[in-house]
Structure 1
Amino acid sequence: MLRRTLRLVAAFVMFLSAVAVGTVATAGTAHADGCYTWSRTLSQGASGADVTQLQIRLVGYPGHGAELAVDGQFGPGTTAALKRFQSAYGLASDGVAGSGTYTKLYALQDDDCTPIHFSYGELNDCNTTWSGGAVSAATAKSNALRTMWKLEALRHALGDQPITVTSGFRSVACNNAVGGASNSRHLYGDAADLGAGPHSLCTLAKQARDHGFRGILGPGYPGHDDHTHVDQRSAPFWSAPTCGI
């Protein structure tokens, strides 16, 4: 009798656990992630730090020649970028960030919030502190993170084949050592030089126009025949004459 009672108690506990698990799975936003976990569904009109975190991951989906503001305000631009992201990954393109969107984002990010195919080390072969550039170390590192999410979008658009970063953040000393321009965007942490690989330099330069890069320099532009340069400057400037840009 005692054994039967214990089995019934155990079965009831398992039932309660299953119900609890089912509830969490249905909620979706309760998923715990090593980098960042969203706790609510987001749509146009929302605001806050969780919107900012979403925007950082959507900066590569602003549309041709556009850029997405990372301001914590979920406006039309964020809605459009989210729809492009959702479409790119085969999700329902409704412009609402819910469990399906978050699940994909969790799969795309490492515990340090970098996208899975890029790392801080790739974007900084100058030093480990991100110091000595034209902005604070924290700003340079933050800029590099946004650049990586743009590169992740670029990579996905080109069939998820590898993209090689040959140069990223530079301190003034590192920039001088390689003969960089005194006003190089590399000093700000928001620039990356891309080498040829599965894709030609022209393919990289042309596709980059759709992923939030305001600066694109490639073959045909002085000093850029062996790489494609992308950055986030204040005024748009694209030049890769060999590529028809």
Structure 2
Amino acid sequence: MSTYGTRLLSKGMQGADVEELQIRLAGFRGTLPDGEFGPGTELQVAKFQVDVMGRSAPSGIADSSTLKAIDSFADQFLIDFSRLKCRCGMCDGFGQGKFRGKYLGNRKTEEFHLYEYPGIHRMLLWAVRAAHFYMPKHPFTFSSGYRCSVNNQQNHRNTTNHCGKAVDLDIKPKPGETRQDDVLKCREVRGKLVELSNAQIGWEARNRKSLEPDSMAPTWVHYDVRSYEAKYLDDRYFCKDLVTLNARTPILF
């Protein structure tokens, strides 16, 4: 398996480095981390080259300059993990790895999976970076990140999304803005995420990033990956710190 940063990546190639590229470009149209450089991944690369790198004629090929630009993009849009940590006071901030394969009732779907994943899904956080890039007029903070089973008990909840599969984004208000202004801004952000990052409102489609509708989240933006198949929710996709999120490697070609 090829290490990310050791070769040029283009359509038709396969490998762990292709998977890593797909993760890092999750907010640019978005595809799945299947390690197959197909048309969707080519579109991701081209979108990044046009929108971030300013190329008028994108190649859709992840050459060394593109990989270096992705690293620079990560440095520009840092993720504050202190705001993502669970507030229960009992776990390390990202659960205790409990309840793998355990579900609420008899409903064995990811919506009801009680497992405390080991961190936040990396694709989700890279997608949040793209949201920051595309919508600078709406500065975000994390209003909710990890919420383990203890936190749920403390707050009389039984939801499982926030055991690593979801974050909530809060748009900083401007002086004089009303609640309705906040509702409208959140609605606009959801529309942009559907357009730009291949997200969906709701959870009907499989293997798509999801957003709660404004009937459920009127004044914040809930973003999750609970519709992903189990193979895309493997422990290796989750991280607890910026170093693991960035997985920084030297570009050697």
TM-score, scaled to structure 1:
0.66
Backbone CA RMSD of aligned residues: 2.6
User: 1:54 Cα shift?
Assistant: 0.8
5+ long unaligned stretches in structure 2: 99-113, 174-181, 200-208, 229-253
Higher relative contact order (CA 8 A, sep 6+): 2
Measured after TM superposition, the shift of residue 135 of structure 1 is 3.3
Verify the 8 A CA contact 2:138 2:171 in the aligned structure 1: no
Change in Cα spacing, 1:150 to 1:177, as seen in structure 2 (3 Å) is: same
Q: What is the deviation of 1:104?
A: 0.8
Task: Provide the residue aligned with 1:44 in structure 2.
Answer: 11
Deviation at 1:190, TM superposition (A): 2.0
Aligned equivalent of 1:80, options 32, 43, 46: 43
Which ranges of structure 1 fall in alignment gaps of 5 or more residues?
1-35, 236-245
Partner deviation per Cα, 1:78-131 (whole Å, 9 max, x = no partner): 111111111111134211001221121121235xxxx73213333323343522
1:185 is paired with a residue whose SS is coil
Q: Does 1:105 align with 2:52?
A: no
Bigger Rg over Cα? 1
Q: Any residues of structure 2 matched to 1:114-129 within 5 Å, and which? A: 116-126=77-87, 127-129=91-93
Tell me the alpha carbon deviations over residues 198-229 of structure 1, each in whole angstroms, 9 at most, x when there is no partner: 6822222222213243321243x14x233221
1:135 aligns with 2:115: yes
What is the Cα deviation at residue 231 of structure 1?
0.9
* 2:4/2:16 contact within 8 Å kept: no
Partner of 1:12: none
In structure 2, relative to structure 1, the CA distance for the partners of 1:119 and 1:53 (3 Å cut) is farther
Aligned position for 1:30: none
Q: Distance in 2 between matches of 1:226 and 1:179?
A: 21
Question: Among residues 208, 215, 222, which one is paired with 2:193 in the alignment?
Answer: 208
Question: Could you report, residue by residue, the CA deviation over 1:165-203 in whole angstroms, capped at 9, with x for unpaired residues?
Answer: 1001211111333344x343112x121111122682222
Q: How many residues align?
A: 185
> Is 1:60 aligned to residue 5 of structure 2?
no
Alpha-carbon distance in structure 1 between the residues aligned to 2:23 and 2:127? 9
Mapped to 2, the partners of 1:160 and 1:154 lie a distance apart of 11
Identity %: 26
Distance 1:160 1:70, change over 3 A: farther
1:186 is the counterpart of 2:186: no
What letter corresponds to residue 31 of structure 2 in structure 1? Answer: L
8 A Cα contact 1:208 1:230, kept in partner: no
The structure with the largest helix share of the pair is 1
Contact 2:86 2:151 in 1 (8 A): no
Question: Structure 1 71/56 Cα, relative in aligned 2: closer, same or farther at 3 Å?
Answer: same
Letter in 2 for 1:125: C
